[in-house]
């Protein structure tokens, strides 16, 4: 090997499966020569297509968008053009504006969004420290809100801990897998492999999904329920388990409370009644319940198909209750698996980028925790729970009193102008906010609404720690030297803090930040860099710095829950339908899901040559052959799809995998952007949007050539908007 060629191991930057990848890099040429998966705790030597091909964006091929390479600000007011400036000027501009807004409107007029993607736990810690210690607010949140917040809230209220109770490798040793609203083969291919292995080892698989997913195809029982009816299904399963006496009486007696209240609700949800709501048969529901209750190695794996509903929290509570009723907690290969989506969404929650907790899940309303962080950070802290980021429209355009509004929004690695629901409303809100900062690695749609754009290094260009979906801390390492005038996220935020007069320490590296995190968070204290180097993956809780504490594989050991008294609480609610149902004008239901080769807002995968060649604009709408026939549609034809909120063009994908009356789009597309259509109704306690259900209509487009021209023009317009501002300044972007 030439001297400058090195091998560097790191964690994949896409999903929460946390696969370990080994890069071969020519450091002199600053180029990646090769990548292959290595034997990590979760991936066992495998990777999916994004692990193999998803790093090409580091080469900046500029297919969809460009890397941000220079700080930019709108010096002369909101509508003025962006200008490239020095870091000092950009930092001072941001700090001055934050300061002015804080002085005029108070600390709670500020909201920060942390990133669950590239930056890592250390940057996440700094973002919440900035919001709390420098600004003085708990208005700090991140994309968990629009994702698994319902899992966190529902699990906290029942079993006291929001994370997966078991580990990814344990899934393959489960005997019963109840997979509900989770499409692992697309979302977490390396977790899907564990489900396939479980099947090979003889597990019985139940899949509750309105579509025939790959998991549904290999399932022993597919419950192809009608969208939006989860609570009716899980309540009826609980009804069967109780009425047929399939309970684990000892476990329920020793480790739970709330049985009578729980039964009072699910008593009404007979299999017959729920069968009608769900479009299933009562026998199928009975079979699923009996199977689920038949083992002490049953797991419930779930995803967005239950959380992205206005009854998301209720479904989660009932899933946790099903596991308690059957004694499926506290030992190997059982429990609950809300499999976290983003590579570091578990970590961003761990770091306290949430309005209600400090790092390590220490409540902002707990005086002892408050005192501890006040001492560590040398400031007085607010003990009021902050505002969730999905409430931006409520606290901007729908709030009449300026004193109660959000006036500054600091967005670090999130693209609400593509990923939030009801984009028209969101854009209007962004433009109404006095000062928006977008700190990102790529131009994205949110940058178009920013008053300052701060370019950061990406995964592969900095060090840190991510947390996998199953609570596993794992290192990420710098693979390439960053190009351009860019800085790590934590460094940018620290500089703004100092410019505002806060004595943020001059951390020399991420390890120094990490040491501050673990010293303040008892659950993480034992996970030092030194131990991560040796053990590669350490699952929290890890209490002790000694070498013998290697972390925790599964939670709630022997049925002792993380609730204050160690007792789990059985909970659920009666079913109600989604907020916006089918009507005469909008007769079809729209659900929004994912592409296997593309990731969330696609800034990264859209700039990887191999992945981009798999799929492209304007995306697809999956529609049943019956609906297609009624509309006179052919496969691949462009169609217009509209809801009460907006309208976009996409291609028809006619497939028997979906039922009549329900269509499915993926949210990865800039032109076929399904969030122009989705509804911003939220779950009342988790504030997660109902992305999985709204009413729409589909129209055939007679002039396909004109429709393609419109698609191409829309894409070009968005891309030009991202570059025009700068070229106007005579600087080539
Ligand atoms: N219709 C519909 N919409 C949805 C969903 C759905 O199912 N349906 N799902 C929702 C869910 S679950 C989620 S989690 C969200 C995800 O939505 P987002 O979080 O908005 O999307 P991401 O693509 O993950 O990344 C956000 C931004 O982070 C930037 N980024 C990446 N690495 C770094 C870094 O190191 N530093 C900085 N500063 N920036 C970086 C990317 O360029 C990108 O602009 O989308 C939600 N939107
Ligand atoms: N390739 C790729 N992988 C990703 C992502 C990506 O963008 N691309 N995003 C990542 C992120 S942020 C996340 S959160 C995860 C999410 O991963 P998943 O949780 O798998 O998310 P979805 O595919 O949105 O939805 C899961 C399933 O819910 C089903 N569903 C819809 N409505 C209902 C219903 O009413 N009941 C039930 N039971 N099911 C329903 C859908 O048909 C779908 O198959 O994926 C992560 N992995
Ligand atoms: S399964 Fe997830 S972590 Fe593993 S390679 Fe694919 S995207 Fe990366
Ligand atoms: Mo997510």
Ligand lying closest to the C-alpha of residue 415: 1
- Contact of 38 with 10, CB cutoff 8 Å: no
Give the closest ligand to the alpha carbon of residue 474.
Answer: 3
Q: Determine the residue of 11, 20, 42, 43 to mutate for testing ligand 3's pocket, defined as the one with the most ligand atoms within 8 A of the Cβ atom.
A: 43
Instruction: Tell me: pLDDT of 732 over 60.
Output: no
**Which ligand has an atom closest to residue 442 CA?**
1
Q: pLDDT band at residue 1, thresholds of 50, 70 and 90?
A: low
Question: Do strands 298-302 and 362-363 pair parallel, antiparallel, or not at all (unpaired)?
Answer: unpaired
**pLDDT, tens digit, 9 for 90 and up, residues 566-605:** 999 999 999 999 999 999 999 999 999 999 999 999 999 9
Which of 513, 541, 569 is the last residue before a domain boundary? Answer: 569
For residue 301 and ligand 2, the question of a CB distance below 6 A is answered with: no
| Pair of tokens at residue 210 | 């309105």
Q: Which residues pair with 23 in a beta bridge?
A: 8, 35
Question: Which atom belonging to ligand 3 lies closest to the Cα atom of 49?
Answer: 6
Residues 80 and 114 in one domain: yes
Is 528 part of a structural domain of the chain? no
The verdict on the CB of residue 180 being under 6 Å from ligand 2 is yes
Assess if residue 728 is contained within a domain: no
Q: Which ligand 2 atom is the nearest neighbour of the CA of 345?
A: 12
Contact between residue 535 and residue 373 where contact means Cβ atoms under 8 Å apart: no
Domain shared by 201 and 324, yes or no: yes
Tens digit of each residue's pLDDT (9 = 90 or more) over 385-420: 999 999 999 999 999 999 999 999 999 999 999 999
**CA within 13 Å, CB half, 76:** 3
CB 199 within 8 A of CB 189: no
Q: Answer yes or no: is 175 within a domain.
A: yes
- The number of the ligand 3 atom at minimal distance from the alpha carbon of 18 is 3
CA distances from 418 to 306, 395, 448, 593, 600 (A): 22, 19, 11, 14, 9
The answer to whether 571 and 158 have CB atoms below 8 angstroms apart is yes
Shared domain for 91 and 217, answered yes or no, is no
Ligand 2 contacts CB of residue 139 (under 6 A)? no
Q: 189 CB under 6 A from ligand 3? A: yes
Residue 349: which CATH number? 3.40.50.740
Tell which atom from ligand 2 comes closest to the C-alpha of 186: 1
User: Is 81 within the bounds of a domain?
Assistant: yes
Residues 76 and 158 in one domain: no
The reply to whether 356 falls in a domain is: yes
One domain, residues 321 and 410: no
Cα of 378 from ligand 2 centre, angstroms? 42
Q: What is the mean pLDDT of residues 337-343?
A: 97
Beta-bridge partner residues of 464 = 476
Q: Which residues contact 201 (CB under 8 A, 6 or more apart)?
A: 172, 173
Q: Do 190 and 233 have their domain in common? A: yes
Distance from Cα 106 to the centre of ligand 4, integer Å = 31
Q: Which range marks the domain in which residue 37 is found?
A: 5-59
Percent residues over pLDDT 90 in the chain: 96
Task: Specify whether 173 is located in the same domain as 197.
Answer: yes
Specify the residue with its C-alpha closest to ligand 2, atom 19.
303
Q: What is the number of domains present in the chain?
A: 4
Ligand 4 centre to CA of 342 (Å) is: 5
What's the length of the chain? 733
**Within-domain flag for 709:** no
Q: Output the pLDDT for position 729.
A: 41
Q: Is there a single domain that holds both residue 391 and residue 313? A: no
Selection from 341, 334, 305, 340 nearest residue 320 by Cα: 334
Please check whether residue 558 lies inside any domain of the structure.
Answer: no
The beta-carbon contacts of 190-196 under 8 Å, at least 24 apart in sequence, are 190/17, 190/19, 190/42, 190/43, 190/46, 190/47, 190/48, 190/51, 191/17, 191/42, 191/301, 191/339, 191/469, 193/46, 194/168, 194/169, 195/171, 195/301
- The pLDDT, as a whole number, for residue 79 is 84
**At which of 521, 548, 577 does a domain end?**
521
DSSP string, 153-210: HHHHHHTS--S-SS-GGGGGG-SEEEEES--HHHH-HHHHHHHHHHHHTT-EEEEE-S
289: helix, coil or strand? helix
Token representation of residue 140: 């700090």
Do residues 248 and 215 share a domain?
A: yes
Ligand 1 geometric centre to CA of 600 (Å): 5
Asked whether 318 and 238 are in contact (CB, 8 A), the reply is: yes
In which order are the strands placed within the sheet that holds 5-11? Answer: 5-11, 20-26, 31-37
The reply to whether the predicted model has a pTM over 0.95 is: yes
Same domain as 398, residue 295: no
d(CA 102, CA 407): 9
The CATH number of the domain holding residue 694 is 2.40.40.20
**Are 357 and 226 within one domain?**
no
Spatial distance between the Cα atoms of 622 and 639, rounded to a whole number of angstroms:
11
Strands (E), 372-493: 408-412, 435-440, 452-455, 464-467, 472-476
Average pLDDT, integer, range 688-705:
97
Task: Identify whether residues 334 and 390 lie together within a single domain.
Answer: no
| Burial (CB count within 10 angstroms: exposed 0-12, middle 13-18, buried 19+), residue 59 | middle
Q: CATH no. for residue 33? A: 2.20.25.90
What pLDDT, in 10s, does the model give residues 177-218? 999 999 999 999 999 999 999 999 999 999 999 999 999 999
Ligand 3 in reach of 140 Cβ (< 6 A):
no
pLDDT of residue 731: 39
CATH number at residue 238: 3.40.228.10
Q: Which atom of ligand 1 is nearest to the CA of 308?
A: 7
């Amino acid at each position: 090997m030439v001297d400058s060629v090195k091998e560097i191991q790191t964690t994949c930057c896409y999903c929460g499966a946390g696969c370990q990848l080994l890069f071969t890099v020519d450091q002199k040429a600053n180029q990646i020569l090769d990548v292959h998966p290595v034997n990590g705790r979760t991936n066992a030597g495998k990777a999916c297509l994004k692990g193999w091909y998803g790093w090409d964006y580091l080469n900046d091929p500029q297919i969809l968008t460009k890397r941000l390479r220079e700080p930019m600000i709108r010096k002369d007011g909101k509508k003025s053009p962006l200008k490239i400036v020095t870091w000092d000027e950009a930092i001072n501009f941001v700090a001055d504006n934050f300061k002015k807004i804080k002085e005029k409107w108070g600390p709670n007029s500020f909201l920060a969004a942390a990133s669950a993607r590239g930056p890592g736990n250390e940057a996440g810690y700094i973002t919440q420290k900035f919001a709390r210690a420098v600004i003085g607010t708990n208005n700090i949140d991140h994309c968990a809100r629009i994702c698994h917040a319902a899992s966190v809230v529902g699990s906290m209220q029942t079993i006291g801990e929001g994370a997966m109770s078991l580990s990814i490798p344990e899934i393959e040793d489960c005997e019963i897998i109840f997979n509900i609203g989770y499409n692992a083969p697309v979302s977490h291919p390396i977790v899907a492999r564990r489900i396939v292995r479980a099947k090979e080892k003889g597990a019985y698989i139940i899949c509750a999904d309105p579509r025939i997913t790959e998991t549904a195809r290999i399932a022993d029982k597919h419950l192809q329920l009608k969208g939006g009816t989860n609570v009716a299904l899980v309540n009826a399963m609980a009804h069967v388990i109780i009425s047929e006496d399939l309970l684990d009486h000892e476990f329920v007696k020793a480790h739970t409370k709330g049985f009578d209240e729980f039964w009072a609700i699910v008593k009404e949800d007979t299999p017959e009644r729920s069968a009608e709501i769900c479009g299933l048969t009562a026998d199928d529901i009975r079979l699923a319940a009996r199977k689920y209750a038949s083992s002490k190695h049953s797991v419930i794996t779930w995803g967005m198909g239950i959380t992205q509903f206005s009854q998301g929290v209720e479904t989660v509570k009932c899933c946790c209750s099903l596991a308690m009723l059957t004694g499926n907690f506290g030992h190997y290969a059982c429990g609950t698996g809300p499999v976290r989506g983003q590579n570091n969404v578990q970590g961003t929650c761990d770091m306290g980028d949430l309005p209600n907790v400090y790092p390590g899940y220490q409540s902002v309303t707990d005086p002892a925790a408050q005192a501890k962080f006040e001492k560590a950070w040398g400031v007085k802290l607010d003990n009021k729970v902050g505002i969730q980021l999905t409430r931006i429209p409520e606290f901007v355009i729908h709030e009449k009193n300026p004193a109660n509004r959000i006036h500054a929004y600091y967005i670090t690695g999130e693209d609400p102008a593509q990923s939030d629901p009801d984009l028209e409303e969101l854009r209007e809100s962004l433009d109404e906010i006095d000062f928006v900062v977008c700190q990102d690695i790529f131009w994205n749609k949110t940058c178009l609404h920013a008053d300052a754009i701060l370019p950061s290094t990406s995964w592969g260009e900095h060090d840190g720690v991510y947390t996998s979906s199953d609570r596993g801390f794992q290192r990420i390492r710098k693979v390439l030297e960053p190009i351009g005038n860019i800085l790590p996220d934590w460094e940018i935020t620290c500089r703004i803090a100092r410019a505002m007069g806060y004595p943020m320490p001059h951390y020399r590296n991420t390890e120094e930040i990490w040491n501050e995190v673990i010293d303040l968070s008892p659950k993480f204290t034992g996970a030092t860099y030194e131990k991560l180097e040796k053990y590669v993956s350490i699952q929290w809780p890890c209490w002790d710095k000694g070498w013998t504490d290697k972390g925790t594989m599964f939670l709630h050991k022997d049925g002792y829950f993380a609730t204050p008294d160690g007792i789990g609480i059985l909970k659920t609610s009666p079913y109600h339908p989604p907020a916006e149902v089918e009507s005469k004008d909008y007769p079809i239901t729209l659900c929004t899901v994912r592409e296997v080769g593309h990731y969330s807002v696609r800034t990264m995968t859209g700039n990887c040559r191999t992945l981009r060649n798999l799929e492209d604009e304007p995306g697809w709408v999956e529609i049943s052959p019956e609906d297609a026939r009624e509309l006179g549609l052919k496969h691949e034809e462009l169609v217009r799809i509209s809801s009460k909120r907006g309208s976009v063009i996409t291609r028809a994908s006619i497939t028997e995998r979906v039922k009549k009356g329900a269509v499915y789009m993926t949210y990865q597309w800039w032109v076929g952007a399904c969030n122009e259509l989705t509804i911003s109704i939220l779950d009342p306690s988790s504030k997660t949007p109902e992305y999985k259900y709204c009413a729409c209509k589909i129209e055939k487009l007679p002039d396909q050539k004109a429709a393609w021209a419109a698609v191409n023009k829309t894409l070009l317009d968005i891309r030009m908007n991202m570059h025009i501002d700068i070229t106007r300044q005579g600087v080539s972007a």
